[in-house]
Amino acid sequence: MDGYDAARGQAGLITRTDVGRLTVSGPDRRSYLHGLLTNDIEALKEGQGCYAAYLTAQGRMIADLYVYELGDVVLLTVPRSVKDIVLAKLDQFVFSEDVQLGDVTDAFGAVTVVGPSAGDVCATVLGDGAERFRALATHGNRRGQFHGRPVIVLRVDDGGVPGFELLVETVLGVELRQQLRAAGATDVDERAAEALRIEGGVPRFGRDMFDDTIPLEAGIEGRAISMTKGCYVGQEVIVRVLHRGHGRLVKRLVGLALDTDGVPPSGTPVEHGGREVGRVTSSTWSPALGRGIALAYLHRDVVAPGTSVEVGGSKAEVVSLPFVGASG
């Protein structure tokens, strides 16, 4: 797994096809999104961004998404599987606001470079100072150039290892990848990329989060939800659980460290004391830990780290996330 080793120790090159990109432009773009999404969008300044969720009125997830204020437009990165749903629902809430919505998914050739040397590799290819990449905060963004054409640089962390996503015109995508490889980045295949994500404890919509998931169940509230902002869709449910229910939920997403190299498929039951207490959502063999690991939703009675459970007939232990600390 050369790509895995490169992502952990140098620079890994990840190409994703499961991402959709939407734009929100117009002078009311931030205030409009602020009333819909869970995080503080109105506070974003040019070059800043955040992670957020879009919820139904019942507090269930429509999608998780990354919000980037580029200065003249807000760019939304969403799971491609729900991109059209998100766009349609956003459109339904445009009333008197001066905003325009767009789908730019196919307008970009995108590639992500992760790992400790990701900034150096990107700087070499874009002819820029590596310090500018290192100074970019998580979810930050800035503009650059590649062969005299515009490039958008996004600071990302959704792959389990921090890095940079570079967006260029679609026709330049192949050449950009070639030059990143020449500068020292190694391709990370889908299997290795999945191992990095799960080791990083990063839940993925459609696999670990679904349209019936409350963000608190997935453990993303610390990153995705502002506890000080005003109203947003679904806020009443979140507040009720946190304050009246003291954060008690029936189930939570946890990490499982397996006593085997085996990788249980998604949906495998998890048992404790002879009864089913949850199911696996994602799993992989972890090169860093030398064992199988998994993400799973478990009943609240068995989510404490150190709890012993059984997965597909093998023993496992509940552990805190992430499995492996980020580097890059």
Question: Alpha carbon of 133 to those of 70, 138, 144: distances in Å?
Answer: 16, 11, 11
What is the per-residue pLDDT for 192? 97
Nearest in space to 64 (alpha carbons), one of 217, 236, 195:
217
What is the per-residue pLDDT for 246? 63
By residue count, the chain amounts to: 328
φ and ψ at residue 268, rounded to 5 degrees: -60, 130
What is the per-residue pLDDT for 212? 96
Q: Which residues contact 58 (CB under 8 A, 6 or more apart)?
A: 234, 237
What is the per-residue pLDDT for 173? 95
Cα–Cα distance for residue pair 114/163, rounded to 1 Å: 4
Do 240 and 296 have their domain in common?
no
Q: Which helix (H) or strand (E) holds 227?
A: none
User: Of the residues 188, 220, 249, which one is the last residue of a structural domain?
Assistant: 249
What is the per-residue pLDDT for 182? 98
User: Of the residues 208, 223, 249, which one is the last residue of a structural domain?
Assistant: 249
**Residue 143 lies in domain:** 1-249
The pair of structure tokens assigned to 205 is: 């919509």
Query: What CATH code is carried by the domain that includes residue 241?
Result: 3.30.1360.120
User: Of the residues 230, 249, 268, which one is the last residue of a structural domain?
Assistant: 249
User: For residue 240, how many other CB atoms are within 10 A of its CB?
Assistant: 11
Do 306 and 218 have their domain in common?
no
Asked if residue 44 is part of any domain, the answer here is yes
Do 234 and 149 have their domain in common?
yes
The answer to pTM > 0.85 is yes
Cα–Cα distance for residue pair 41/50, rounded to 1 Å: 8
Do 260 and 207 have their domain in common?
no
Do 108 and 206 have their domain in common?
yes
Beta strands across the sheet bearing 19-25: 49-55, 61-69, 74-79, 19-25, 100-103
The pair of structure tokens assigned to 194 is: 């999945």
Which pLDDT tens digits describe the chain residue by residue (328 residues)? 789 999 999 999 999 999 999 999 999 999 999 999 999 999 999 999 999 999 999 999 999 999 999 999 999 999 999 999 999 999 999 999 999 999 999 999 999 999 999 999 999 999 988 899 989 999 999 999 999 999 999 999 999 999 999 999 999 999 999 999 999 999 999 999 999 999 999 999 999 999 999 999 999 999 999 999 989 999 999 999 988 766 789 999 999 999 988 899 999 999 999 999 999 999 999 999 999 999 999 999 999 999 999 999 899 999 999 999 865 5
281-295 b/e with 16+ CB inside 10 Å = b?
bbbbbbbeeebbbbb
Do 45 and 172 have their domain in common?
yes
The pair of structure tokens assigned to 128 is: 């820029």
Do 125 and 179 have their domain in common?
yes
Do 10 and 84 have their domain in common?
yes
Do 259 and 203 have their domain in common?
no
Do 183 and 291 have their domain in common?
no
Do 309 and 218 have their domain in common?
no
Query: What CATH code is carried by the domain that includes residue 262?
Result: 2.40.30.110
What is the per-residue pLDDT for 23? 98
φ and ψ at residue 289, rounded to 5 degrees: -100, -15
Do 194 and 284 have their domain in common?
no
What is the per-residue pLDDT for 247? 72
276 exposed, middle or buried (CB, 10 Å; 0-12, 13-18, 19+)?
exposed
What is the per-residue pLDDT for 205? 98
3-state SS of 236-302 is HHHHHHHHHCCCCCCEEEEEEEECCCCCCCCCCEEEECCEEEEEEEEEEEECCCCEEEEEEEEEHHH
Give residue for tokens 């963004």. Answer: 141
Cα–Cα distance for residue pair 105/102, rounded to 1 Å: 9
